[in-house]
Amino acid sequence: MMDLFVRALPLLEKAVLVTLGLGLSAFFFGCILGLLVALARISPFGPLRWFAFTYVSVFRGTPLLIQILLIYFGLPTYGIVMGPIPSALLALSLFAAAYLSENFRSGIMAVDKGQWEAAWSMGMGYWKTLLRIVLPQATRIVLPPVGSRLIGLMKDTSLASTVTVVELTRVAEQMGATTFRYMEMFLIVGAIYWFINQTLTLLQTWLESRFSRRYA
């Protein structure tokens, strides 16, 4: 197996960067969009709430693979042509945002209403209260599920191989087809995924302990 790993190493090095780039970028954009959707879900405006609910329902209720294929193969029908990586990134971001929005919404709603009222009594507006009082407390609450979503998203990047993105899974398929050593190649790539996600798990654990001490 070691000789196969050495042979595939140049491709794996590039594929790891693509996988990390896709996963972390999708998580970043998903967090931004997810927070906006979460705020829309708790908005007093009915149409905004229904739009956010529909968005979450659609993207949580359909497979990520279908979403990737629709963006990559479906949008060109309407004159919107995107490359493999942008298509995968868009699909992963939209998919992640639907799940993250529910994490953020639950975290915001878990903060006691008295925190809002106390801030408003001091003359703080909605956005200042949200940014200075509510979100810091909500962040501590949602850190475990949000960290788990990042780990899950890193594994979901393997689906980008279906639209020819050369990430880890795609390299495993290519090397397997070239050498006919599929079992060994997929074991190697599986070990790389495990190492990435184990590193993220340790980072999540460290952040959780740090936030716990801060608010103890």
Q: Which domains does the chain have, with CATH numbers?
A: 2-214 (1.10.3720.10)
Q: Which amino acid is at 99?
A: Y
End-to-end CA distance of the chain: 49
The answer to whether 84 touches 162, Cβ cutoff 8 Å, is: no
pLDDT in tens, the chain (216 residues): 777 877 778 888 899 999 999 999 999 999 999 999 999 998 888 888 999 999 999 999 999 999 999 999 999 989 898 999 999 999 999 999 999 999 999 988 888 877 777 877 787 777 788 788 888 888 888 888 899 999 999 999 999 999 888 888 888 888 888 888 889 889 999 999 999 999 999 988 888 787 766 555
Ramachandran region, residue 125 (left: φ > 0; alpha: ψ -120 to 50; beta: rest): beta
- Its pTM stands at 0.88
